[in-house]
Amino acid sequence: MFATLKFAALLLAVVVCWATQDYDYNDAEIDEEPTLGDSPYGSLWPLPQKVQISTVVFKLSGASFHIFDAKASSSGASCRLLQNAYRRYDEYIFTSSRKQGQNKSKKALASDMSELQVWITSADSECDSYPSVTSDESYKLSVDSPVAVLKAPKVWGALRGLETFSQLVYKDEYGAKSINRTDIHDFPRFAHRGLLLDTSRHFLPIKVILANLEAMAWNKFNVFHWHIVDDPSFPYLSRTFPQLSQHGAYHPYTHVYTPSDVKMIIEFARLRGIRVVPEFDTPGHTQSWGKGQKDLLTPCYSGASPSGSFGPVNPMLNTTYDFMSMFFKEVNTVFPDAYVHLGGDEVDFSCWKSNPDIQKFMEQQGFGMDYSKLESFYIQRLLDIVTTTNKGYMIWQEVFDNGVKLKSDTVVHVWMGNKVEEELQKVTEAGFTTILSAPWYLDYISYGQDWQKFYRAEPLSFKGTDAQKKLVIGGEACLWGEYVDATNLTPRLWPRASAVGERLWSDRDVRDLNDAYSRLAKHRCRMVQRGIPAEPLFTGYCAHEYKGV
Amino acid sequence: MEEKTISNSRRCYKQWLWFMVLFMSFSVIYVDAVWPMPQMISSSMARYTLNPREFIFQYSSGSSAQPGCSLLDSAFERYYPLIFTDYRHDEWFRFPFTVVVHVERAECEGYPDADSSESYKLSVCSGQAALRAETVWGALRGLESFSQLVYQDDFGEYFVNETEIEDFPRFQFRGILLDTSRHYLPLHAILKTLDAMSYNKFNVFHWHIVDDPSFPYQSSTFPDLSSKGAFHPLTHVYTQIDVKRVIAHARLRGIRVLAEFDSPGHTQSWGKGQPGLLTPCYKGTVPSGTFGPVNPANSSSYQFMTRLFKEVTSVFPDSYVHLGGDEVDFTCWKSNPDVRGFMLKMGFGTDYTKLESYYMENMVNITKGLNKTAIVWQDVFDYHEKLCCSSLSVVEVWKGGCYLCEVRRVTKAGLRVVLASPWYLDQPGPTHDWARYYTVWPLAFKGTEQQKTLVIGGEVCMWGEYVDATNLSPRLWPRASAAGERLWSDEKMTSSVIDAFPRLVDFRCRLLRRGIQAEPLFVGHCRHEYQGI
């Protein structure tokens, strides 16, 4: 085993392929032409940071190939996360062939690869922890005969490496599973690679969320930003305030997420190295909260009398903060992630302005006519509440723009389409970490290959110091729910979100559209074969078309 | 319970009082439930309970269709579970209900065609619904309407309101085009689309079966066409059995299958299995190795087409066949010395539209010889206009811009029109632009009454560049439903987007309940959300 490793190291030393088209064809041991297709990187997506693929091909036999823990690994049979992943990837790799049993009669050849050893190198594998923004996702993968080795400091890197390994396997012209001798050293460019799903405008059944978490893992996304509630509905079933979903959900039983649903989603995500960051957006976007929580929202006035409609959360009542305090205490215990998203976007001041009590309160506080000061007042009290729960928080950019005092570790979420670079510059100049979504609103659709637009976007193109650029910790693709539900969510997301996935994982210089197109077309066929209805990029076909309806 | 008892004691009079006019929005009563809107519908507040265990379909004694009518027997089987989506066991009440079907002319084993009547009358009263239709096709439309009248209350009980419907389609040709060449659509995706079409009263499946990228139709005369021209010779083809299955599935739903074998352009995939068919393009004096449209200068091309269309017209029973004829690129013809020689010989000068017209006329004559009516894309008419139009009969208008100007020109020439321009649904756009497909007025052009009757219908086109089985359904439905109502219903009764919106929202939830992956129109929910991924 060490002999092969040494050879791999030698190869690595000769050519380190840094995301360019050229790679080493001059291998002495060519015995078969590689059938990797148009891109020298086959179907790898997102492209690893350093990859070197040789023309030497090994066969994998479904009957004899296995994924094991390496002897020296700090993680063993008790690590459910990895054992689960081994089984998952074994299924992905051998989907159809093992059923047919085509390789069973054949004895493994000497040049076959019989196992993938997974070696967690650091003492604490983090097998039972939750992933976080500082989790180490790096890994090294060396594919050689008879053993391939995947080395990673933590389980998170091992998960990413398993995905990469599965993407290296292809069928040769006779249908035999094949893999080229390959060396990969990989790590993400950005630590926060998220996807926002909106379960308020349309309720998304659990099954849909889980399927998309699965697809996220295939694209090396690591944050599920769960925009769980909003104006139209409140599907989160709160133990402390059950009336919120009882009255605020589309339906109190069929259109809610129970505590066990939420738990299941968090665990499912954890097993795939994905964080779940819930968003409880206030003080705007809260119409549905008002249905189950009396006096939480501001009564709007029409002239001198209440109009019967309600505006944002009422910022002048102590009961509001008592409620928030209890509510976020619960959120803190339910969602293990170190961050919670507090929203704070698009607050409409007209209702506050109409309300005489609010007007009086403004006067008392000396806010004059500046309602953004009132918003700041609310947000600051809310931030104080959340700070006591030891959670970090993320907020939409308006909160920063409006000059609210923020904790130094606040993550500012940039989403507005105009003056994006200027905003990033300002936010990072002020010393805040930030994530970018502005170029990646996937709910906007247009005719043709708009994945290219998402792919071309570059998060660090703004003017700023290196220190400022380091504060950009990643980005998120957003799929808002106005026109999206279980019927069309998955094909609308994939493979368009995959384009964002590569931008956030791979090196900045990986931007060749032709190469990306070739890899992405294959990657989408792989997603289809694994059961996700990822829509086509353009005319063409997959060997295995989507079998659903 | 009170109300039910009253309703049940009521009798259904012939001179029934039509005291509730349509368009009044009563949220409790689902009078507007039928999509597309019937020509005449009225219903009352009186509602009757339906018990799944005591619900039957029956042929009336005077009906010419009787048990054994395969078409209606299987429709009854289909509609029972569509009406009773979740079957509950209620032992404690007895409300027998019979749908009595009367058909004048039983064509139970026939195929729907261009002149099939689809009109029906439906009268729902206590314990019984009477459905009368001239043909089995009308009966199918009536069963669909009846199934949409049934609704469930919050406790899961089924109801139908006292209702009278007299209905017939505004346009005789209401089609959906699927493109199985740019992406192969597995059979189940086509069958599912046919199901959804019948819920929307569409009656023509325009099967754009082959094109440049692939030739999935497995021809028994020329098997090489698919073995060499399909994406994959085994997994990405439609065998004769597959085609028969599609036609049979469509027939049972009163849907015609209109096959399109587009030529002389859009034929790259044909060339792979039929050497010599396409025009070799030249670079200077030597062949460049690439190929253009079908070679119109070779008599062998016409011999091939005659044999192919002989097969096609025997496989597809419909009296129409679509010959395509769109977007022919002349550069390759121009480059080829043989084609230039032929132009000279025929006296076409350098007008290549004459060459295309010559080709298309030959094609039309071939189909005439096979007793079929040819449909062509408007390009053929546009070229022909200058020459003669005696050989053309149905023209499909597809180009954007002032499409009604084109409709006017074509009908002025005395030809029939199928309108597709406003319904290119492959362009995604946010869903709320369903209204774009609804606010289409196909007859709003200046012309005689005679001209207007020549507009025989319209068609929704779902081209396949960006569409395959993964996204076909949500991209089609419910946007195609908007076109469906425009083509079936009275224009005056259905001119308001605001009135249509809540009806379409309900209808899309009904489609979901039936397993059709119809996407949402806007924020909201359905009682039963889509359960797939």
Tell me the per-residue pLDDT of B221-260, one tens digit each, with 9 for 90 and over. 999 999 999 999 999 999 999 999 999 999 999 999 999 9
Confidence bin at B431 (pLDDT 50/70/90):
low
Average pLDDT for A110-133: 92
Nearest to B525 among A202, A445, A491 (CB): A202
Q: How far apart are CA A487 and CA A336, in angstroms?
A: 30
User: B389 pLDDT exceeds 80?
Assistant: no
User: B21 pLDDT exceeds 80?
Assistant: no
Residues of A in contact with B236 (CB under 8 A): 541, 545
Task: Note whether B186 contacts A546, CB cutoff 8 Å.
Answer: yes
Q: What integer pLDDT is reported at residue B93 of this predicted model?
A: 64
pLDDT tens column, B134-160: 999 999 999 999 999 999 988 888 999
In one-letter notation, the amino acid at residue B45 is M
Q: How far apart are CA B372 and CA B80, in angstroms?
A: 37
Q: Alpha carbon of A275 to those of A54, A220, A224, B101: distances in Å?
A: 35, 12, 6, 59
Task: Note whether B466 contacts A208, CB cutoff 8 Å.
Answer: no
**Chain B stretch 467-506, residues whose beta carbon is closer than 8 A to a beta carbon of chain A:** 467-471, 473-475
Q: What is the largest CA-CA distance in chain A?
A: 88
Nearest residue in A to B185, CA atom? A545
Nearest to B522 among A482, A540, A541 (CB): A482
Q: What integer pLDDT is reported at residue B429 of this predicted model?
A: 62
Asked if A89 and A163 count as a contact pair (C-beta separation under 8 A), the reply is: yes
DSSP conformation letters of B459-470: EEEE-STT-STT
For A451, the 3-state DSSP assignment is: helix
Nearest residue in B to A494, CA atom? B470
Average pLDDT for B452-467: 97
DSSP assignment, residue A204? -
Q: What is the largest CA-CA distance in chain B?
A: 90
Asked if A12 and A52 count as a contact pair (C-beta separation under 8 A), the reply is: yes
Task: Extract the tokens encoding A241.
Answer: 């305030």
Task: Extract the tokens encoding A111.
Answer: 């040049």
Phi, psi values for residue A133, rounded to 5°: -65, -20
More confident position, A447 or A470: A470
CB within 8 A of B13, min separation 6: which ones? none
Q: How far apart are CA B183 and CA B145, in angstroms?
A: 34
Q: What percent of chain A shows pLDDT beyond 90? A: 82
Q: How far apart are CA A342 and CA A350, in angstroms?
A: 22
DSSP conformation letters of A456-518: H--TT-SS--HHHHHTEEEEEEEE-STT-STTTHHHHHTTHHHHHHHHHHS-TT---HHHHHH
User: A83 pLDDT exceeds 90?
Assistant: yes
Nearest residue in A to B230, CA atom? A541
Nearest to B530 among A444, A487, A537 (CB): A487
B525–A contact, CB cutoff 8 A: yes
Residues of B in contact with A212 (CB under 8 A): 533
Task: Extract the tokens encoding B175.
Answer: 């089609």
Nearest to A483 among B213, B515, B522 (CB): B522
Identify any residues that bridge with B176 across adjacent strands, giving them in sequence order.
Answer: B205, B460
Q: HEC states along A395-429?
A: EEHHHHHCCCCCCCCCEEEECCCCCHHHHHHHHHH
DSSP assignment, residue A108? P
Asked if A297 and A355 count as a contact pair (C-beta separation under 8 A), the reply is: no
CB within 8 A of A361, min separation 6: which ones? A315, A316, A374
- When the pLDDT of each residue in chain A is averaged and rounded to a whole number, the result is 90
Pick among B521, B525, B528, B531 to test the A interface (most A CBs inside 10 A): B525
Task: Note whether B517 contacts A485, CB cutoff 8 Å.
Answer: no
Q: How far apart are CA A19 and CA A510, in angstroms?
A: 6
Task: Note whether A539 contacts B523, CB cutoff 8 Å.
Answer: no
Measured in whole angstroms, how far is the alpha carbon of residue B104 from the centre of its chain? 25
Q: What integer pLDDT is reported at residue A36 of this predicted model?
A: 39
Identify any residues that bridge with A305 across adjacent strands, giving them in sequence order.
Answer: A302
Nearest residue in B to A483, CA atom? B522
A-B contacts (CB, under 8 Å): 139
Nearest residue in A to B519, CA atom? A487
Residues of A in contact with B86 (CB under 8 A): none
Identify any residues that bridge with A224 across adjacent strands, giving them in sequence order.
Answer: A195, A276
Q: What integer pLDDT is reported at residue A549 of this predicted model?
A: 61
DSSP assignment, residue A33? -
CB within 8 A of A53, min separation 6: which ones? A17, A23, A34, A36, A40, A41, A42, A168, A180, A181, A182
Confidence bin at A38 (pLDDT 50/70/90):
confident
User: A5 pLDDT exceeds 60?
Assistant: no
User: A260 pLDDT exceeds 60?
Assistant: yes
Q: How far is B468 from chain A (nearest CA, A)?
A: 7
In one-letter notation, the amino acid at residue B174 is R
CB within 8 A of A344, min separation 6: which ones? A281, A282, A283, A284, A375, A379, A395, A396, A398, A399, A404
Average pLDDT for B295-315: 97
Q: How far is A453 from chain B (nearest CA, A)?
A: 16
B517–A contact, CB cutoff 8 A: yes
Task: Note whether B533 contacts A207, CB cutoff 8 Å.
Answer: yes
Asked if A428 and A434 count as a contact pair (C-beta separation under 8 A), the reply is: yes
Pick among A96, A443, A549 to test the B interface (most B CBs inside 10 A): A549
Task: Note whether B470 contacts A491, CB cutoff 8 Å.
Answer: yes
For residue B471, which of A349, A383, A377, A487 has the smallest C-alpha distance?
Answer: A487
Residues of B in contact with A487 (CB under 8 A): 473-474, 512, 517-520, 530
Q: How far apart are CA A478 and CA A441, in angstroms?
A: 5
Task: Extract the tokens encoding A112.
Answer: 């076959």
Pick among A488, A520, A524, A537 to test the B interface (most B CBs inside 10 A): A488
Q: What integer pLDDT is reported at residue B385 of this predicted model?
A: 64
Q: Alpha carbon of A94 to those of A68, A302, B244: distances in Å?
A: 16, 66, 35
Nearest to B468 among A212, A481, A536 (CB): A536
More confident position, A413 or A36: A413
Q: What integer pLDDT is reported at residue B424 of this predicted model?
A: 94
Confidence bin at B10 (pLDDT 50/70/90):
very low
Q: What integer pLDDT is reported at residue B20 of this predicted model?
A: 35
Task: Note whether A207 contacts B531, CB cutoff 8 Å.
Answer: yes
For residue B470, which of A174, A515, A16, A529 has the smallest C-alpha distance?
Answer: A529
Measured in whole angstroms, how far is the alpha carbon of residue B352 from the centre of its chain? 34
Q: What integer pLDDT is reported at residue A13 of this predicted model?
A: 34
Q: Which residues of B are catalytic?
A: 327
State the complex-level ipTM. Answer: 0.88
Measured in whole angstroms, how far is the alpha carbon of residue B508 from the centre of its chain? 18
Rg (CA), chain B: 25
Q: How far is A316 from chain B (nearest CA, A)?
A: 31
Q: How far apart are CA A33 and CA B197, in angstroms?
A: 48
- Kindly provide the b/e burial profile for residues A56-74, where b requires at least 16 CB atoms within 10 angstroms of the residue's own CB: bbbbbbbbbbebebbeebb
Confidence bin at B188 (pLDDT 50/70/90):
very high
Phi, psi values for residue A287, rounded to 5°: -50, -45
**Chain B stretch 121-180, residues whose beta carbon is closer than 8 A to a beta carbon of chain A:** none
First to last CA, chain A: 47
Q: How far apart are CA B46 and CA B50, in angstroms?
A: 13
Task: Extract the tokens encoding B490.
Answer: 């009275």
Confidence bin at A202 (pLDDT 50/70/90):
very high
Rounded to 10 deg, the angle between the A318-334 and A371-388 helix axes is 40
Count of H-run helices and E-run strands, chain B: 18, 17
A115, containing H or E segment: strand A115-120
Confidence bin at A249 (pLDDT 50/70/90):
very high
User: A11 pLDDT exceeds 80?
Assistant: no
Nearest residue in A to B477, CA atom? A487
Q: How far is B185 from chain A (nearest CA, A)?
A: 8
Q: Which residues of A are catalytic?
A: 346
Q: Which of A65-69, B313-317, B319-323, B384-388 has the lowest mean pLDDT?
A: B384-388
More confident position, A508 or B10: A508
Asked if A233 and B525 count as a contact pair (C-beta separation under 8 A), the reply is: yes
Nearest residue in A to B526, CA atom? A250
Asked if B43 and B16 count as a contact pair (C-beta separation under 8 A), the reply is: no
- Taking residue B341's Cβ as centre, other Cβ atoms within 10 Å add up to 11
Confidence bin at B532 (pLDDT 50/70/90):
confident
Task: Extract the tokens encoding B491.
Answer: 């224009």
In one-letter notation, the amino acid at residue B439 is T
pLDDT tens column, A285-294: 999 999 999 9
User: A98 pLDDT exceeds 60?
Assistant: no
User: A107 pLDDT exceeds 70?
Assistant: no
User: A223 pLDDT exceeds 90?
Assistant: yes
Confidence bin at B386 (pLDDT 50/70/90):
low
In one-letter notation, the amino acid at residue A512 is D
First to last CA, chain B: 40
pLDDT tens column, B165-187: 999 999 999 999 999 999 999 99
Q: What integer pLDDT is reported at residue B156 of this predicted model?
A: 85
**Chain B stretch 383-442, residues whose beta carbon is closer than 8 A to a beta carbon of chain A:** 427-432
Q: How far apart are CA A139 and CA A120, in angstroms?
A: 9
**Chain B stretch 183-222, residues whose beta carbon is closer than 8 A to a beta carbon of chain A:** 183-184, 186, 188-189, 192, 213-214
Beta-strand relationship, A297-302 and A305-313: antiparallel
Task: Note whether B532 contacts A549, CB cutoff 8 Å.
Answer: yes
More confident position, B512 or B85: B512
Q: How far is A490 from chain B (nearest CA, A)?
A: 7
Average pLDDT for A10-20: 34
Place of tokens 């989790």: A135
Pick among A173, A484, A485 to test the B interface (most B CBs inside 10 A): A485
DSSP assignment, residue A257? B
pLDDT tens column, A485-528: 999 999 999 999 999 999 999 999 999 999 999 999 999 999 99
Task: Note whether B432 contacts A207, CB cutoff 8 Å.
Answer: no
In one-letter notation, the amino acid at residue B223 is P
